Structure 1
């Protein structure tokens, strides 16, 4: 097995502009993302949303790629149509012409450089271990990797393989030098790994690495009418991938009360107080720290 075609998608969310400016840079210096054993294509995910400086026009583009939705002719709002177009360019999902899709994102959360992997397998575990060996500060995020690929709604899942580069914190519609550099560095490590993978030259890797696996999302506290009655507690603000123990605070209520983590195990946060998720009232993801076996 080898990777012959790679697509780097930038600007899937219109106000995450780091990827768009990396795309502009690479368009002028294609050799920076070229390797000898595969071709690399650049694609701007949602140019219309970028033009109006919004995350999306009608609905989140990165939630439109489940196979049933791509096949549904009744879904005809802008992002649904854009998803179907991207599926024809890079897919079609289930029998894609693109072997690897790398989707570039940024977050307002303090996540640092993060590699999100929506599937399991030898390619993914070895990629994760290689990235960690080259960029120890990178975090490996196993994002609902129990799901069948056809059920995933993420853009990157239309490729034979797919990953997300997620880096933060950076405000929406803002360029930040360190985030730009981390996004580029992480992407380059992925491309380097593919070249090594294709030539059977991957160096010796550890047999296991630390990673995090998604458990559930938490919403901001609301009253019966849906009005917010609290906010993310300062105890977890900016503390992505840090442990929260049972009984420790998650939310500060406006009336002075506090909501703590229940249960009997420590969990880890991610996407803490992500600005883009306020339209769905999402406050944070909770994760388990795991040991990822490297095949």
Structure 2
């Protein structure tokens, strides 16, 4: 992999996710806080109008507008669609980007703690996950590598390498110190790792670690007319990354009927009851627990 030189730290992709926005303001005033030797680190406020209006978005979700076909489609011209094209021109273009690495900062209303979402599972990303865990043992690592980077529609996919920092629980349009501190710590750990990787100075890392891989998303119960008829079961609520086995209650209908999970694998729900996903009636994402193995001379025997 080529050396990473240009890093973009993006906040405010969603206008009511405040931790990244206020960290961005802090770092723009004191850029030395995110400066690293050998790196050109810049910041970008992705959705300023969403922030001004105190909304996730004005017209549509900005973090779903970065598919190559959509970026090339000039008829897609509402606020976020147009903003995506501007951002792509500034950080990209996707497929030949000026930015080598993008860190996109997000909050979730779900009880996910400090979660790092990796869009690729190459050696670099696997080691990054291990390094972040060495600095933040409470962190959760999730791989969303089910499609090629160029097929992702997230903002972070503009660059050849990109990650999503997803921290919660935090209500929309609120700032929590614990959540903001987690986000700041994780961002610094990512920047430190990049600088060390460039110099081939990454310290010894464990030979393997536990992580999660995204499998699917589940919708809330609906009737034939698409009307919502149930909610996330109380035993699942707030239990992000706790195992869910076939037969476990997962939803409660408004008439009191319990709906059980019927999957053929042990699932690990996350983004449980995320408020922002109600516009699509999504209840949660499901992942599988995986073991990431590192193959390098600096790995050590610990798990």
CA distance in 2, matches of 1:126, 1:34: 21
Question: What residue number does 2:300 align with?
Answer: none
Question: What residue number does 2:147 align with?
Answer: 147
Q: CA deviation at 1:199?
A: 1.1
8 A contact 2:107–2:167 mirrored in 1: yes
Q: CA deviation at 1:184?
A: 0.3
Question: What residue number does 1:255 align with?
Answer: 255
Query: What secondary structure does 1:20 align onto?
Result: helix
Q: CA deviation at 1:27?
A: 1.2
CA distance in 1, matches of 2:12, 2:67: 19
- Within-5 A mapping of 1:112-261: 112-143=113-144, 145-261=145-261
Are positions 1:293 and 2:293 aligned together?
Answer: yes
Question: What residue number does 2:61 align with?
Answer: 60
CA distance in 1, matches of 2:282, 2:293: 31
CA distance in 2, matches of 1:257, 1:132: 40
- Deviation per CA, 1:59-90, whole angstroms, max 9, x where unpaired? 10000001111111121111111001000100
Question: What residue number does 1:98 align with?
Answer: 99
Structure 1 residue runs of 4+, over 3 Å off? none
8 A contact 2:245–2:263 mirrored in 1: no
CA distance in 2, matches of 1:12, 1:276: 13
Q: Which moved more, 1:198-207 or 1:280-289?
A: 198-207
Query: What secondary structure does 1:43 align onto?
Result: strand
- Deviation per CA, 1:16-48, whole angstroms, max 9, x where unpaired? 011110011111111110011101101001001
CA distance in 1, matches of 2:126, 2:223: 43
TM-score normalized with structure 2 length: 0.96
CA distance in 2, matches of 1:264, 1:60: 32
- Deviation per CA, 1:111-143, whole angstroms, max 9, x where unpaired? 000000111211101101100111111000111
Q: CA deviation at 1:7?
A: 0.3
- Within-5 A mapping of 1:250-289: 250-289=250-289
CA distance in 2, matches of 1:84, 1:291: 37
Query: What secondary structure does 1:276 align onto?
Result: helix
8 A contact 2:8–2:43 mirrored in 1: yes
Aligned length: 294
CA distance in 1, matches of 2:100, 2:14: 22
Q: Which runs of 5+ in 2 are unaligned?
A: 296-303
CA distance in 2, matches of 1:147, 1:217: 15
Q: CA deviation at 1:294?
A: 2.2
Aligned CA RMSD, in angstroms, stands at 0.8
8 A contact 2:149–2:160 mirrored in 1: no
8 A contact 2:9–2:103 mirrored in 1: yes
Question: What residue number does 2:299 align with?
Answer: none
Q: CA deviation at 1:265?
A: 2.5
Q: CA deviation at 1:263?
A: 2.9
8 A contact 2:101–2:161 mirrored in 1: yes
Are positions 1:38 and 2:29 aligned together?
Answer: no
- Deviation per CA, 1:83-119, whole angstroms, max 9, x where unpaired? 0100010011000110100000000000000000111
Question: What residue number does 1:27 align with?
Answer: 28
CA distance in 1, matches of 2:99, 2:181: 26
Q: Which moved more, 1:173-182 or 1:70-79?
A: 70-79
Q: Which moved more, 1:174-183 or 1:264-273?
A: 264-273
